[in-house]
Amino acid sequence: MSNNYSNIIEVKDVSIGYSNKKDTFIVSKNINFSSKKSELISIVGTNGIGKSTLLKTLARIQPQKKGTILLNNKNFYDYSTLEIATQLSIVLTESPSSKNLTVKELVSLGRHPYTNWIGILTVIDEKIIEESLIDTDTLSLVNKKCSELSDGQLQRVMIARALVQDTPIILLDEPTTHLDIYHRAYILKLLKNLADKKKKTIIFSTHEIDLAIQVSHKMIVMTKEKTYFDKPEMLIKSGCFKNLFPSETIEFDNELKQFILKNNNVS
C-alpha cells in the first residue's frame, strides 16, 4: 500500500484528446504531474484548453492517447472497472439524470462498489453514509429530492456521494460553477478540509484561479504551449499566470495574487 511519501497517482507524458471514426484530436500534450496522499490539486486554464478532458481521462471515462498513468505504481489500465471504482470517485458537471432521487438514495449509490448483487446496505455502509452527510453538512437534506435542492446544496450532495465511495482519490470537474462567491469559497474550503483531515487526494478543475491559489497545495496550469505543475507560490514566481490570458484585458498581479482588470482601453 502507499505510504505518505509515495505517489498515489503519477501522470507521465500523457496526451489527452478525443477521437471519432476518422480523426484523433489531441487537446493537450506532454502532461506531467504526480500526487501524494492528502493533496489538493487544482487544474486551471482557459475554456476549451482540456481541463475536463484531463479529468475524464483520469476517471477513465475517456481513453488517454499517449503516455502512462500509474495508480499506486501500477498501470492505470490494468485495474478492472470495479477496482478503479474503489480507487477514484468523480463529481461531474452533469447533474444526476433522475431528479426524483432523494438525497439519501443518491448518496447511498456511492456504496455500489462494495454492496452485494442487489445493493443491500449494511450497518457499516449506513455509518459511512451518515459520516459523509455530516462532513458535507447535508444531513438535514436527506429526505429532499434532487429537484428541490439549490445548486450549492446539490454540489455538496454530489461530493457526499463521492465521499461515500470511500476512494483515496476524488476528481471534481468545475465544482464551483453556478455558485455565488460564498458557496464557491465554501466548497473549496470543504475540499481543502477533506484533503487535510480525511487524507484524500483531490484533483479539481476550476475557473476560480484567485481562490484556487489560496487553497491548493499544488496547481496544474494548462496553456496552449505547455502544462505547468507546481506549488502556487512557485507558479506565481515563474510568471506562469501572466501568460494565461491576453494581457490587454486582464492581467495577473503577483503582489495581490489575483487578476486585475485593465481599464486602459475602456473608452
Partner 1 sequence: MKNQKTYRFYFLVLILILIITFIISISLGTVPIPLREVIISLFGGEPLKSSWKFIIMDYRLPKAITAILAGGGLAVSGLLMQTLFRNPLAGPFVLGLSSGASLGVAMLILGAGLFGASFGGLLMGSWSLVIASAFGSFLVLLAVLSVSFKLKDTMTILIIGLMFGSVTAAVVSVLSYFSNAEQLQQFVFWSFGTLGNVSWDGILILFSCITIGLWISILAIKPLNALLLGENYAKSMGINLKLATFWIIVATSLLAGSITAFAGPIAFVGLAVPHLTRQFFNSSNHMVLLPAVFLSGAVLMLICDTVAQLPFIELTLPINAITSLLGAPVVIWLLVRKRKLFF
Contact 72, 8 (CB under 8 A): yes
Q: Considering only 58-66, 133-141, 206-214, 226-234, which stretch makes contact with partner 1 by CB under 8 A?
A: 58-66
Establish if 147 lies at the interface with partner 1 (CB under 8 A): yes
Establish if 59 lies at the interface with partner 1 (CB under 8 A): yes
CB of residue 81 to partner 1, shortest distance in Å: 5
Binds partner 1 (CB under 8 A): choice among 65, 104, 156, 218: 104
Question: Which residues does 34 contact at the CB level (< 8 Å), separation at least 6?
Answer: 7, 9, 10, 11
Establish if 119 lies at the interface with partner 1 (CB under 8 A): yes
- What is the identity of the amino acid at 94? E
Q: Considering only 1-9, 27-35, 69-77, 140-148, which stretch makes contact with partner 1 by CB under 8 A?
A: 140-148
Backbone phi, psi, residue 230, to 5°: -170, -175
Contact 41, 33 (CB under 8 A): yes
Query: Buried b / exposed e across 230-245, counting CB within 10 Å, b at 16+?
Result: bebeebbeeebbeebe
Q: Considering only 27-35, 46-54, 76-84, 200-208, which stretch makes contact with partner 1 by CB under 8 A?
A: 76-84
CB of residue 103 to partner 1, shortest distance in Å: 9
Binds partner 1 (CB under 8 A): choice among 64, 89, 136, 138: 89
Establish if 96 lies at the interface with partner 1 (CB under 8 A): yes
Terminal-to-terminal C-alpha distance of the chain: 61
CA distance 27 to 254: 29
CA distance 259 to 87: 36
CB of residue 116 to partner 1, shortest distance in Å: 9
Size, binding site for partner 1 by CB under 8 A: 38
Positions that interact with partner 1 (CB under 8 A): 56, 59-61, 81-86, 88-90, 92, 94, 96-102, 104-106, 109-110, 112-113, 115, 117-119, 142-143, 145, 147, 165
